Amino acid sequence: MAGTVTGRRVIVTAAGPGMWPVLEECALPSFHRYAARWGFDVHVVRLPADGTAADAAAQRAKWAKITLLRAALERYDLALWLDADVLVLRDDEDIAGHLHADAFQALVLEQVPYEHRLNPNTGVWLLRAGPAATALLDAVEAAGPQPGPWADQGAVLLALGWNRGDERYYWARPGRGTPFLDGTSWLPPSWNQPYIAGRTPAESFNSAADSYADRPTVPRPHALHFMGMTPEARLRHMRAAAAAAGAGQASESGDETTRRSRRAGNSAGTSSAAVRAKTTG
């Protein structure tokens, strides 16, 4: 049963100097298109620093997500966090339709066979304002930024009662759970699909380039996530993906125009034939 989410909606995102070109040029236009289609405001924050991989500046930038979501939920009924390296490719579906009426949040489960792990990924994170969301963010802040590659996501997993595996999150899997897990809906994989093409070891961090090769994918994702890459690599790959998506949409639009023209032509031809037959009769 899908939830009916009414009221004010906002997309929240942020980036520091390193990721700002990625957000501004590639991700943000796709966020605005989606927001216009489904009635979201867009709140963009420019962070003072974003660091590299899992260094201190990167950890602070990741942790800003928690503070920004808390502020958004004080003003809006629904907040959708999108990482700066997410490209929204489709706007044909309201993501809120996947939020169960009894749930306060929705996330995608990320499956990485190479690392033997299955875990929620907070790169696309939908939250409904209310006591449950506030309590979750309280628990995450109480846990504090976690060591390793996932400052914020590691704390969210802890609050959910997820088994986080080893220090690299290898073997992460469902754990004993908490009431927060009971209040979680699961988004379809298409809403946070990892970008897997053209990765090289030199451009990768946090996870090996090979770890993306066998991750599950869907043919037409709603949101493509360029995680675990250098900002330069993200910008290059996101430009190419955005251009390909634009060309595909133009082609689909052209095909639909052609189909409509043919239908109109067939209709006109039928009408003309009927008129001729009537005149002849």
Question: Among residues of the chain, what percentage have pLDDT more than 90?
Answer: 76
pLDDT at 273 over 80: no
User: pLDDT band for position 279 (50/70/90)?
Assistant: very low
Buried b (16+ CB within 10 A) or exposed e, 73-90: beebbbbbbbbbbbbbbb
CA pair distance 181, 158, nearest whole angstrom: 11
Which range of 2-11, 194-203, 250-259, 266-275 scores highest in mean pLDDT? It is: 194-203
pLDDT at 149: 87
- Between 199 and 247, name the one with better pLDDT: 199
pLDDT of residue 79: 99
- The CA distances from residue 139 to 182, 223, 228, 260, in Å, are 15, 28, 26, 54
Mean pLDDT (the chain) is 90
Assess whether pLDDT exceeds 50 at residue 271: no
pLDDT at 58: 84
Tell me the average pLDDT across 112-122.
Answer: 98
Average pLDDT over residues 121-147: 98
Confidence at 252, pLDDT banded by 50, 70, 90: low
pLDDT interval class at 256 (50, 70, 90): low
Q: State pLDDT tens for residues 55-67.
A: 888 889 999 999 9
pLDDT higher at 242 or 250: 242
Torsion of CA 11, 92, 227, 240, to 10 degrees: -120
119, 109 contact by CB (below 8 A): yes
Range with lowest mean pLDDT among 118-127, 157-166, 208-217:
208-217
Above 60 in pLDDT, residue 258? no
Q: Does the structure show a pLDDT above 50 at 83?
A: yes
- pLDDT above 90 for 95: yes
Can you spell out the DSSP letters for the chain? -B----S-EEEEEEE-TTTHHHIIIIIHHHHHHHHHHHTEEEEEEE-S---STTSHHHHHHHHHHHHHHHHHHTT-SEEEEE-TTEEE---SS-GGGGSBTT-SEEEEEEEEGGGTEEEEEEEEEEEE-SHHHHHHHHHHHHH-PPSSS-HHHHHHHHHHT-B--STT-TT-B--S--HHHHTEEE--GGGSEEP-TT--GGGB-SS-GGGGTT----SS-SEEE--SB-HHHHHHHHHHHHHHHHHHHHHHHHHHHHHHHHHHHHHHHHHHHHHHHHHH-
pLDDT for 146-198, tens place per residue? 998 899 999 999 999 999 999 999 999 999 999 999 999 999 999 999 999 98
Q: Tell me which amino acid residue 150 is.
A: W
DSSP output for 157-199: HHHHT-B--STT-TT-B--S--HHHHTEEE--GGGSEEP-TT-
Q: Locate 245 and state its tokens.
A: 């998506």
CA 239/CA 198 separation, integer angstroms? 13
pLDDT at 260 over 80: no
Residue 225: C-alpha distances to residues 13, 45, 94, 187, 205 (Å)? 14, 19, 18, 14, 14
- Residue 54: the pLDDT is 76
Place 275 in a pLDDT band, splitting at 50, 70 and 90: very low
Please count the other Cβ atoms lying within 10 Å of the Cβ belonging to residue 139.
16
Domains of the chain: 9-246 (3.90.550.10)
